[in-house]
Structure 1
Amino acid sequence: MTYLDPHGINADLHSHSTRSDGVLTPEALVERALANGVELLALTDHDEVSGLQAARRRAQELGLRFICGVEISVTFAHKTVHIVGLNIDANNQVLLESLTAIRTGRTRRAQVMAQGLAEYLNKNTRASSALAAFQGHLSDEQLAEVIYAGALQYAGNPDLISRTHFARYLVECKLCKHLSDVFLHYLTPDKPGYVETSWASLTEAVSWIRQAGGQAVIAHPGRYRFSETEKIALYETFKELGGEAIEVITASHTREQYSDFVRIAKHFDFLASRGSDFHGPYESRVDLGEVGLLPLLPDSVIPIWHNW
């Protein structure tokens, strides 16, 4: 078998469009990737594959090699983990039905998030916020409707409203200056807009991806706050279920962590993936395929695309 030289290909296998919480349309995402020198691109929207056809069509027009993907929300050890599926059949019925069920749960979560934010803001008026005109004058339920509608206007896909859409709206309202501040103060555990959610199981996510002919990848493994025992359990369980790879190079990892995940990939015999987790200009830590900040895979690991 001939492996592609990991030093010779700029692959970005983790990105988002307006079909989930990205700010670029699928077509614009492809165009930006090509302009940035990406040679192999995957669109991996959260729990959604409706942007893949448009992205693939545009990639074919431009001569960019494109891979169909998805990022599935999973609950493992009472925490949220993201599993990327690469090289999937976007028309697989099992996958489509399963993702529809997850998105229904996302809609319910968004409604509860809006309610939690409204209740908090009605008790904690901030004159600097554009919401101040509503606070104290609307009931919690009415303010929740305002906040939900505000988040919805940022969602290119009304069936998928995420925390990021709420964050963008609250920045617009000048409640915070940056998205990261909104997450820190309002949308993380124990904060007023955070809603604990039971997502798909790891078993389900890996099974759906494999049934769709794809390969399962643990996204940004350095982001999860697991104990060492839980980390090992995640890798071992994932491997036993047929999971094949982890993201070694990702914008969520520090340069020091790259070597850690090279070691983990080799220890568990995982293939290695690389992706920016790009959501949009001025919002993401790393641009699509930005080699200066997102190094190519080292030659000590086998890239997931080696036999595509």
Structure 2
Amino acid sequence: MSSILNADLHCHSVVSDGTLTPEQLAARASANGVELWALTDHDEIGGQQRAFAAARANGMKYLTGTEISVTFAGETVHIVGLGFDASDPRMAQGLQRTRGGRGQRALEMADGLARVGITGAYEGALKFVGNPELISRTHFARFLVESGACHDTHEVFRKYLTEGKPGFVPHRWASLADAVGWITQCGGVAVIAHPGRYNFTANEEYALFTEFKAHGGRAVEVVTGSHTAAEYVEYAGVAREFGLAASRGSDFHSPDESRIDLGTLPYLPGELTPVWDLLTDRIR
């Protein structure tokens, strides 16, 4: 397949922290001209069959997907898995383990917010959760906007939910080796998501890419919703340097919150190998 393909291989539904169902996402993606789609809910594959059926009903090709939370060099990094066998128990078991700490973390976040006068945050966040195992900072952010504490979710994160703020509680996620291992053992390709978002030094970023490739990782998101045009160029260079394929995805969560809509990103630079070229036998 060509790099001139409207592929959107990173988005989220109500199964994790999006606001639309897999069916609504598929319809939106199709309406925006997406030809190849993947639903990549956080640490969860429960929406995969619905997404595949909806993709087929809307005339799109489909790749299985998930976005796995990883702790690396003290930061949370996201690894997207594409084209894996969603029925392989190793993936489901691994994701269940990494989801396990979210409930306790959410209670601690609510305690921190209560200490600065924001009460009822845990119960309020639960109203926005499609899957209680996956309660996250995004759900707390939506409650704080609804309650009038902040104007939008970006303000919530800035004031309350990032490191050093009252509602921030770190979580120990899977290791890089775990995440890449689950994806590759199940026949998929591991992708470093939105590398421009991480607060790494140049040495730490080099270590991330080096270790990722050593564990069997094969691709990086170059064109993604949170990257600038300059970062498209920067990470195209990183893809070439490390011999990685390139992926493209909006990271769409919600019509009201996301900067970029499904299917509206620029195409991948033509000199790169598209990740879908590694997955031709997995596209359904």
User: C-alpha separation between the residues in 2 aligned to 1:66 and 1:24?
Assistant: 18
User: C-alpha separation between the residues in 2 aligned to 1:221 and 1:169?
Assistant: 28
- 2:252 equivalent to 1:255: no
Which structure 2 residues correspond to residues 75-90 of structure 1 after superposition, within 5 A? 75-90=71-86
Report SS of the residue matched to 1:210.
Answer: helix
- 2:169 equivalent to 1:169: no
Measured after TM superposition, the shift of residue 247 of structure 1 is: 0.2
- 2:169 equivalent to 1:195: yes
4+ aligned runs moved over 6 Å, structure 1? none
Measured after TM superposition, the shift of residue 159 of structure 1 is: 1.4
Superposed CA RMSD in Å reads: 0.9
Measured after TM superposition, the shift of residue 115 of structure 1 is: 1.1
- 2:25 equivalent to 1:25: no
Aligned residue identity for 2:3: P
User: C-alpha separation between the residues in 2 aligned to 1:212 and 1:108?
Assistant: 29
Measured after TM superposition, the shift of residue 60 of structure 1 is: 1.6
Candidates 52, 55, 70, aligned match of 2:48: 52
Which structure 2 residues correspond to residues 114-129 of structure 1 after superposition, within 5 A? 114-121=110-117
Report SS of the residue matched to 1:200.
Answer: coil
User: C-alpha separation between the residues in 2 aligned to 1:286 and 1:58?
Assistant: 21
Candidates 243, 258, 272, aligned match of 1:301: 272
User: C-alpha separation between the residues in 1 aligned to 2:26 and 2:63?
Assistant: 11
Report SS of the residue matched to 2:150.
Answer: coil
Taking structure 1 as the reference length, the TM-score comes to 0.89
User: C-alpha separation between the residues in 2 aligned to 1:58 and 1:14?
Assistant: 16
Measured after TM superposition, the shift of residue 62 of structure 1 is: 2.2
Corresponding residue for 1:280? 254
Corresponding residue for 1:126? none
Q: Deviations over 1:206-259 (max 9, x none)?
A: 001111111000000000010111010000000111000000000111001111
Corresponding residue for 1:135? none
Measured after TM superposition, the shift of residue 118 of structure 1 is: 0.9
Q: Deviations over 1:177-203 (max 9, x none)?
A: 010000000000000100011110000
- 2:134 equivalent to 1:160: yes
Measured after TM superposition, the shift of residue 21 of structure 1 is: 0.4
Candidates 58, 61, 66, aligned match of 1:65: 61
Aligned residue identity for 2:207: A
User: C-alpha separation between the residues in 1 aligned to 2:108 and 2:84?
Assistant: 32
Q: Quick check: 265-274 or 90-99, which moved more? A: 90-99
- 2:99 equivalent to 1:103: yes
Corresponding residue for 2:3? 6
User: C-alpha separation between the residues in 2 aligned to 1:68 and 1:243?
Assistant: 17
User: C-alpha separation between the residues in 2 aligned to 1:5 and 1:276?
Assistant: 19
User: C-alpha separation between the residues in 1 aligned to 2:51 and 2:70?
Assistant: 25
Q: Deviations over 1:242-300 (max 9, x none)?
A: 0000000001110011111111000100000000000010210100001xxx2100111
Aligned residue identity for 1:10: N
* Structure 1 unmatched ranges of 5 or more: 122-130, 132-142
Report SS of the residue matched to 2:68.
Answer: strand
Aligned residue identity for 1:99: L
Aligned residues: 279
